[in-house]
Structure 1
Amino acid sequence: MSVLDRPYEDVWSPRRARIVAVALALVFVVIVGRSAWVVFNSPVRADSGGAVAEVAVRRADIVDREGQLLVTTLQGWSLAADPSAIWDVREVVDGLKTVFPTINTKQITDLLSDKKRRFVWIRRGVSERERKSVKDLGVEALRFVEEPQRVYPNGSLAGHLLGYTNVDGDGLEGIEKIFDERLKQGGEPLRLTIDASVQFVLEEELQGALAQFDMQGATGMVIDVHTGAVRAIASWPFSDPRKRGVEPAAAKTNRALNVRMELGSIYKPLTVAAALEAGELKATDRFNVSAPVKIGSTTVRDPHPLPNASSVTASDIIIHSSNIGSSLIAQRIGPEKLKAFLGNVGLLGGMTIKGPQTASPLTPSEWDQTAMATVAFGHGISVSPLSFAMTYTPFATGGELVTPVFLEPIDPATIQHKRVMSKETADLVLAMLRRTVVEGSGKLAEAPGYEVAGKTGTAEKPTPDGYDPNRNITSFAAIFPASRPQFVVLVVLDEAQPRTGVVRTASVTAAMIAGKVIARAAPLLDVHPVTSTVEAASLRTTEGTP
């Protein structure tokens, strides 16, 4: 070839390159199109229009303080359908109705009649029995999708506290909602202060109360006085997280946190403490409670006469639960000082809780003599039971208030201690509470060996027409053991009417249930029973301190 000849030129190479590029572009378009179809038609997209069923991170478990499983996530099955592959919609719906009797027939019929759709959800979260029954229908257009499901292995145990998630794993109520972001991050279980064994005892005793009383509702709690750790908290009727809110209104109501109640005479120790702190009361002072007294616009009466009513001490007023005596003590300090004391112990709001929040209190619109006289014995002020329970912690700690804690581990440096009364006042009132159980209205709360100290409360329920004497809230607030206080227990019963007899005061209702809870829970909480003051003194150094 001459040097002047043109070199050989491959005219097909650029064409081949363009052809390959076009082909790759077409392949890319197909892949993208297929991906889009999968996103909008595959099982990972719920029929609600975008809720992702599969999650990248497994939702964290919830356990009790000892690590016992309360909530977990397991792989389960959900039922879906391909409407485009269904010939006889009515036949399929009728078949599904035999497996899921509560299914919305119209809604499912509409979904399965849309032939443009290739995927719709029929039922999220089905049992093995339901899965087998659906398979037996022999409908090819029905299929099962494996996806994570939140499981509550203990049924209704601590149901109100735990709450629940929706089918896509979003927290809707309780701990599941409050700590939703933490749980969605996965990792280590969320450890609660709850003791599952104590929780079981509390719930069983509240349920057992129904065998003895006709009642509208109940609540109870067990609280560590040194740390504020809530070891058990329950509301009856119980809530089952597995039902995800599909329950009667009574079961949805969390009486421990979200219901405000007038709790009656369990306020009287607070009134006495307020007067002692103000320097307006001495243990030896005496009062005449033999006749009703008018304070402000209200006339205060006692439901029963007190022994030696013309000359009683503050201790007698607590032990025998005198409304008159409590109001006379409050009169010594006045409305503003009583209000300030109750505010200092957290009953007027403002308590900081890392966890479930309590209902705001309902307090007197005007703190005058009338309000003072009735609040002194627990009427005219409504608070959540948990808020009230915390007010007894100072009597057990030598005068320091703690706030409720729901999460472990508890760092001692973060425990909120607030001095609200002197040790002398706290010890004096605690001794009064112990005498109330030994010789007064709280006798049925005694748990042999556990030195229960406490106070009964019976409050008439307010109505638009005034207080109804036939509808009562009965309560018992307790501290145990009195010689080395470790726990506060509160039991509240709503309209508890004994099935035999006519007496419906707290002395025969809430006090008895509280005693049963303490007798069974104390050993689980490592509280040792004692048979003598000497034995109690020897245990004080090991059990009575945090």
Structure 2
Amino acid sequence: MKKLRSKIIIEDYKNNFDYKKNDTNLNIEFNRVAFIFFVFFIIYLIYIIHLIHLGSRKSNTEITNVLPTFNNKLYRADIIDIDGNYLAKTIKSIDIGIKTSDVIDKKKLLLNLNIIFPNKDFNKVKKQLDTKKFFWLEKKVSEENYEKLMKLGDNSIKPEEKVLRIYPQKNLFSHIIGQIDDDNNGIAGLEKSFDQILRNSKKPMKLTVDKDIQFLIRNELIKYQEIFKSKGSAAILMNVKSGNILSLISLPDFNPNERQNITDVNYINRVTKGTYELGSVFKPFTFASALNEDLIKPETEFLDLPKSIRCDKHRIGEYDNKIPSNLTAEQILVRSGNIGSVRIAQLIGPEKHKSFLKKVGVLSSIDFDIDEVAPQKEYNFGKCKLATVSFGHGVATTILQLAKGYAVISNGGYDIKPTLIDKNSEKKKRID
């Protein structure tokens, strides 16, 4: 067998695959580009970090809402009526001042301010910049202009936040709402008695009063005050079951927006502060007191009533000599008889009648939403005092206390607390 021999030929391909390094500056150029890119990357990174920092902090130049914050010591909660009409409202105002020592570039500042306030007299502003250490540029600036000013970033621009308390209804609720002083302190009415609550509350204070009813009653009082030439007048309208006051008016009144320091006693709240001998309106209490003691019935007869009687040195007479001498208890009340009322009171006696008048609130101290309430005087009920009190003389009380007394005797004998503040219905306690 012929032996096959193979021949392996190995050729040198070295020269074909030799890589000859190109001696250029490519590596050096690449390092330069990388270095420049790195520098720009660092600058970009620093810029991004700065933006994030600015975005995360609360900017002093940003204004998103000109309404006051609840933590603002100048803020006071709004006051609204039963239908949500504003009776007192807090509005935030911003005044802009210029501190001239902080101005860096007057020309630039004047140019920027002229763009924001094109109608302003800048000759005067320029003079103030040269002569004053500080001056007010603009008061009650708008939200839009305030934002533009803050974006200027000029440290010489000094904003000062102020809070305005306005009373949209003007005189209509003056004796109820009262007013505040220039330091935001309540000095009268609800503004005074609920001062801290109004400062700290986040919600409006809702009242029981009705703006439309208040308006109508006030107009009637004004009309008849002009007719009778009276110094003042007052009215109160109250729900006898809940004690909610729908209207409370005292004339003369005032405009709380003017923040006057009123010292004239003629401007007192005649419903709560004024005390009066209220006359014949007391006779229903005499009638109710006797009914409460089971001493009379409406048909109980009082015969041979004289036209006048004497108590010590004082004469008590009928206002009308034509009033009959024989009357039932009900007729005495309807005809408003003085002598008949005295006879009913004499059946009751001094202590029991005094106790009744205190229980219904006519002659007892009253706790009310407004601080301006007259203190109740204490009376000793003797024979003559009992007689005069029976028809409303010899004792003085407020219209507010009178209204409470009428509510108690007309609602079935349940005690109520007159109130101006709208709140949930409370269970009433019946007076024994």
User: Under a length normalisation based on structure 1, what TM-score does the superposition of the two structures give?
Assistant: 0.53
Q: Tell me, what secondary structure is at the counterpart of 1:256?
A: coil
Match of 1:280 in 2: 295
Cα separation, partners in 2 of 1:80 and 1:200, compared to 1, 3 Å: farther
TM-fit CA distance, 1:398? 1.9
Aligned residue number for residue 431 of structure 2: 419
CA–CA distance in structure 1, aligned partners of residues 354 and 96 of structure 2: 59
Q: CA separation in 2, counterparts of 1:204 and 1:367?
A: 40
Q: Equivalent residue of 2:172, what SS?
A: coil
Contact 1:296 1:369 in 2 (8 A): no
Conserved 8 A contact 1:264-1:379: yes
Query: Which of 28, 37, 62 does residue 79 from structure 2 map onto?
Result: 62
After superposition, the C-alpha distances for 1:299-328 in whole angstroms (9 at most, x for unaligned) are: 2101212442x2011222222211111111
* Shift of residue 290, structure 1, vs aligned partner: 3.5
Does residue 239 (structure 1) correspond to residue 254 (structure 2)? The answer is yes
The answer to whether 1:151 aligns with 2:163 is no
Matches of 1:206 and 1:144, distance apart in 2:
46
2:332 counterpart of 1:320: no
CA RMSD of aligned residues (A): 3.3
Return the alpha-carbon distance in structure 2 between the equivalents of residues 233 and 79 of structure 1.
Answer: 41
How far apart are 1:77 and its partner, in Å? 6.4
Match for 1:384 among 398, 403, 419? 398
Structure 1 residue identity aligned to 2:334: I
Unpaired runs of 5+ residues, structure 1, are 1-53, 85-116, 129-142, 421-546
Deviation, 1:173, is 1.1
| 1:149 and 1:167 in contact (8 A); partners too | no
In 2 relative to 1, CA 296–373 (structure 1 residues): closer, same or farther, beyond 3 Å? farther
Query: Residue 190 of structure 2 contacts residue 369 of structure 2 at CA under 8 Å; is this kept in 1?
Result: no
* Matched AA of 1:418: R
Q: How does 1:336-347 map to 2 (within 5 A)?
A: 336-347=351-362
Once the 2 structures are TM-superposed, how far is the Cα of residue 218 of structure 1 from its aligned partner? 0.7
In 2, the alpha carbon distance for the partners of 1:232 and 1:200 equals 9
Pairing 1:370–2:384 present: yes
Task: Tell me the distance in 1 between the aligned counterparts of 2:337 and 2:214.
Answer: 34
How far, CA to CA, are the matches of 2:328 and 2:140 in structure 1? Answer: 65
* Aligned-partner SS, 1:338: helix
2:108 aligns with none
Mapped partners of 1:404, 1:210: distance in 2? 26
Contact map agreement 1:57 1:185 (CA 8 A) in 2: no
CA 292–159 in structure 1, closer or farther in 2 if over 3 Å, else same = same
What's 1:405 paired with?
Answer: 419
Q: Does 1:291 align with 2:291?
A: no
Pair 147,337 (structure 1): closer, same or farther in 2 beyond 3 Å? same
Partners of 2:286 and 2:390 within 8 A in 1: yes
Q: Does the 8 Å contact 1:77/1:144 carry over to 2?
A: yes
Deviation at 1:234, TM superposition (A): 0.8
Gap regions ≥5 residues in structure 2: 1-70, 102-131, 143-157
Match of 2:177 in 1: 162
TM-score (norm 2): 0.66
Contact kept, 8 Å, 1:199 with 1:234, in 2: the verdict is yes
**Which SS does the other structure have where 1:342 is aligned?**
helix
- 1:386 is aligned with what amino acid? L
Give secondary structure in 1 for the equivalent of 2:422: coil
- Per-residue deviation, 1:193: 1.0
1:363 and 1:380 in contact (8 A); partners too: no
Is 1:266 the counterpart of 2:281? The answer is: yes
**Identity rate of aligned residues, in percent?**
30
Aligned residue for 1:419, secondary structure, equals coil
Q: Could you tell which deviates more after superposition, 259-268 or 206-215?
A: 206-215
**1:336-381 Cα shifts (integer Å, max 9, x gaps):** 11111111111222433355462122343x3110100011111111
Please give the per-residue CA displacement for 1:258-297, whole angstroms capped at 9, x wherever unaligned: 1111100000010011112222223222243342112355
How far apart are residue 60 of structure 1 and its match?
A: 1.0
Q: Is the Cα contact below 8 Å between 1:306 and 1:320 reproduced in 2?
A: no
Q: Secondary structure at the match of 1:157?
A: helix
**Whole-Å separation in 2 of the counterparts to 1:81 and 1:370:** 75
After TM superposition, the structure 1 = structure 2 runs for residues 171-186 of structure 1, keeping only pairs within 5 Å, are 171-186=186-201
Contact 2:275–2:398, Cα closer than 8 Å, also in 1:
yes
Residue correspondences, number: 319
Aligned residues of 1:361 and 1:381 also touching (Cα < 8 A): no
Q: Secondary structure at the match of 1:293?
A: strand
Larger Rg computed on CA atoms = 2
Change (3 A) 1:216 1:83: farther
Alpha-carbon shift at residue 151 of structure 1 (Å): 0.4
Distance 2:387 2:135 in 1: 64
Q: CA shift at 1:212, angstroms?
A: 1.4
Secondary structure at the aligned position of 1:305 is classed as coil
1:203 — aligned with what? 218
Q: Which amino acid aligns with 2:210?
A: D
Which residue of 68, 89, 94 maps to 1:72? Answer: 89
Q: State how far apart, in whole Å, the 2-side matches of 1:385 and 1:127 are.
A: 46
What amino acid is aligned across from residue 61 of structure 1 in structure 2?
Answer: D
